[in-house]
């Protein structure tokens, strides 16, 4: 498996690259957005590990540019920020996963290995579930072409569900949208799931609760 690590902190970059190499992976490195784009244009990679804070721009912005150009390589974001907005922004920009610094190298390798097994995913800027459509770029949810008035957090929940395949666990939703799994966050999630269903009306059946596992958006049979 070939991995591109984009990180401007020299010691972190060397440590991560060395750990991947010891795990038997091929590793290329870049310290800025420009070099990363050059490498991606020249070679194919199985996974990109991308820092958010880079000297010539944001890793989130780079991720979004790559997705707009049709790049389908799995991307894992590294961030020193605990702000949930950065995590949501990264997922909405097309990242497949993220890891907050400081992190355990064993966990990083495990996450990258999982992304590599899954392989490239063709991402769409819009998703349809019967008469329900989700426009990821415009952050808009419509039923039969009519925009539904969802709050920012409700839209974030729907977009996370629409952008992932299959069932999304409660833990992943809580971490992605709230940044924690406190009792108040769990109660808010329960309330907002019910509210989203009501706002979608009769089409709310596409938002399915999988008992003991989580939630999914499904296309009607």
Per-position DSSP letters for 146-215, written without gaps between them:
EEP---HHHHHHHHHHHHSSS-EEHHHHIIIIISS--HHHHHHHHHHHHHHHHHHGGGGGGEEEETTTEE
- 3: confidence class by pLDDT, cuts 50, 70, 90: very high
Distance (Å, whole) CA 215 – CA 207: 7
Task: Please tell me the CATH code under which domain 2-118 is placed.
Answer: 3.40.50.2300
Boundaries of every domain in the chain: 2-118, 126-217
Distances (CA, A) of 22 to 17, 19, 28: 9, 5, 14
**Is 60 exceeded by the pLDDT of residue 4?**
yes
pLDDT in tens, 178-192: 767 788 888 899 999
pLDDT score for 191:
92
- The residues pairing with 128 across neighbouring beta strands, listed in sequence order, are 133
Q: What percent of the chain has pLDDT over 90?
A: 30
More confident residue, 215 or 69: 215
pLDDT score for 155:
84
**Is 90 exceeded by the pLDDT of residue 114?**
no
Q: What is the mean pLDDT of residues 7-13?
A: 91
pLDDT score for 158:
87
Of residues 11, 17, 79, the one with CA closest to residue 50: 79
Q: What does the mean pLDDT of the chain come to? A: 84
pLDDT in tens, 129-151: 878 888 876 778 888 888 888 88
Distance (Å, whole) CA 124 – CA 120: 13
Whole-number CA gyration radius for the chain: 18
pLDDT score for 220:
62
pLDDT in tens, 62-86: 998 888 777 888 999 988 766 667 7
CATH topology identical between 2-118 and 126-217: no
- 47: confidence class by pLDDT, cuts 50, 70, 90: very high
Model-level pTM greater than 0.75? no
Domain 126-217 has CATH 3.40.50.300: no
């Amino acid at each position: 498996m070939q991995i591109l690590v984009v990180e401007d902190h020299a010691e972190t970059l060397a440590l991560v690259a060395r750990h991947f190499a010891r795990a038997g992976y091929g590793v290329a490195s870049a310290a800025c957005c420009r070099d990363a784009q050059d490498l991606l244009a020249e070679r194919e990679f199985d996974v990109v590990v991308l820092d958010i804070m880079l000297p010539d721009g944001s890793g989130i912005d780079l991720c979004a540019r790559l997705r707009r150009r049709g790049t389908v390589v799995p991307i894992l974001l590294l961030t020193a920020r605990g702000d949930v907005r950065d995590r949501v922004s990264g997922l909405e920009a097309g990242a497949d996963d993220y890891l907050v610094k400081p992190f355990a190298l064993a966990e990083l390798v495990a996450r990258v290995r999982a992304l590599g097994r899954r392989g490239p995913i063709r991402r769409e800027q819009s998703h349809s579930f019967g008469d329900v459509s989700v426009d990821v770029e415009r952050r808009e949810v419509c039923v039969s072409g009519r925009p539904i008035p969802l709050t920012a957090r409700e839209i974030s929940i729907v977009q996370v569900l629409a952008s992932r395949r299959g069932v999304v666990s409660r833990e992943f939703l809580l971490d992605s949208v709230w940044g924690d799994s406190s009792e108040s966050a769990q109660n808010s999630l329960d309330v907002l799931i019910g509210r989203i269903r009501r706002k979608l009306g009769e089409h709310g059946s596409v938002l399915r609760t999988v008992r003991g596992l989580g939630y999914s958006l499904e296309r009607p049979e």
